[in-house]
């Protein structure tokens, strides 16, 4: 087993009950699902500007993070955890909503731009690199750029919500692969789904 596997999964989202069920919070949904399956709680960690959960996966420690900084300051929280645990960008997976993918799809990639996503933009800026991994959770595009803000801060339909949760389940099935640095295998498994 390699030490280059994922050690931190960051779910991007906005704190607060008003944002909990919105499309922009699907990153939070993902890490919540992992924590629930592991029966481990999130704990508020002021020094990390967020909530942190520690789980064991395939005999390895893995941490889950929900930044409490709001989306456009996500990097502050990610960088604080990365520094404290001495993690390289290649050991970090950031789960986020993706307008450019259809609902029900999920894709894994390393590096790349932010495509206008404020959480990714700030994480790239604060970490000083694009080389972290991303789990892109499809929410589809509303069709018009002027509708994007209201759309991502809105709740998905019941049907879309089910599609997103199915995609999150698919992603949960490759967590051990990610922890053990079997990235190509994880990609192959995810990208042939749906």
Element (H, E) at 134: strand 133-138
Angle between helices 74-84 and 118-127 (to 10 degrees): 40
Q: What are phi and psi of 119, to 5 degrees?
A: -65, -45
Q: Does 24 participate in catalysis according to the annotation?
A: yes
Among candidate residues 24, 96, 114, 173, the one labeled active-site is 24
H helix runs in the chain, sequence order: 26-38, 74-84, 118-127, 148-152, 158-172, 175-179, 183-191
Token pair of 60 as six digits = 């390895």
Element (H, E) at 138: strand 133-138
Q: Which residues are identified as catalytic?
A: 24
């Amino acid at each position: 087993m390699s030490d280059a596997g994922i050690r931190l999964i960051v779910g991007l989202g906005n704190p607060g009950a008003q944002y909990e069920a919105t499309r922009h919070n699907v990153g939070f949904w993902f890490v919540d699902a992992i924590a629930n399956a592991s029966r481990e709680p999130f704990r508020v960690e002021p020094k990390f500007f967020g909530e942190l959960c520690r789980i064991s996966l395939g005999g390895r420690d893995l941490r889950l993070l929900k930044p409490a900084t709001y989306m456009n300051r996500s990097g502050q929280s990610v960088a604080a955890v990365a520094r404290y645990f001495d993690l390289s960008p290649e050991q970090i997976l950031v789960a986020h909503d993706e307008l450019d993918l259809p609902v029900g799809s999920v894709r894994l990639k390393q590096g790349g731009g932010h495509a206008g996503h404020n959480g990714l933009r700030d994480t790239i800026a604060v970490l000083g690199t694009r080389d972290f991994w991303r789990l892109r959770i499809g929410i589809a595009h509303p069709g018009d750029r002027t509708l994007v803000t209201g759309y991502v801060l809105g709740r998905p339909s019941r049907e879309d919500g089910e599609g997103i949760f199915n995609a999150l389940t698919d992603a949960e099935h490759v967590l051990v692969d990610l922890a053990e640095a079997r990235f190509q295998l994880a990609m192959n498994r995810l990208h042939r789904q749906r």
